[in-house]
Amino acid sequence: MPVVNVEEKLGKFSEHWAPKIVAAFNGHDVMVVKLLGEFIWHSHPDTDDFFLVLKGKLTIELRDGAVHLGPGELYVVPKGVEHRPVAKEEVHLLLIEPAGTPNTGDKATAAEKRPI
């Protein structure tokens, strides 16, 4: 595989909430994504959800509170835990999820994840 420059990959697209696959790792997709606004409440019953913020400030709302992440901060939402990402300004993220994991727990959205 080639070396992946994360910023270079992020420069190739502008749409929000559409993860782009940049590498494969142990059956997982390594992805970059841009966020802006509020996502929907969802959970992943079979997988933890790995977030590493590269740019901007991300709030991950949880049913019992919220966590706040800035650049260079990471958080893992445990499987089955309902959460809602909220980005009041544009956020750039590195995400890791098992290949084929839907964005929202809805399998119809898994197709949104594309290599770049």
Residues of this chain that bind a copy of itself (CB under 8 A): 1, 3-7, 22-26, 28, 30, 47-48, 50, 52, 54, 67-69, 72-76, 78-79, 94, 96, 98
Beta bridge partner(s), residue 65: 62
| Nearer to a copy of itself among residue 30 and residue 110 (C-beta) | 30
| Nearer to a copy of itself among residue 42 and residue 55 (C-beta) | 55
Structure-block tokens of residue 70: 């800035």
Cα 50 to Cα 14: distance, rounded to the nearest angstrom: 22
| Nearer to a copy of itself among residue 59 and residue 109 (C-beta) | 59
**CB of residue 91 vs a copy of itself: minimum separation in angstroms?**
14
8-state DSSP, 78: P
**CB of residue 33 vs a copy of itself: minimum separation in angstroms?**
15
Cα 84 to Cα 49: distance, rounded to the nearest angstrom: 12
Structure-block tokens of residue 18: 């559409």
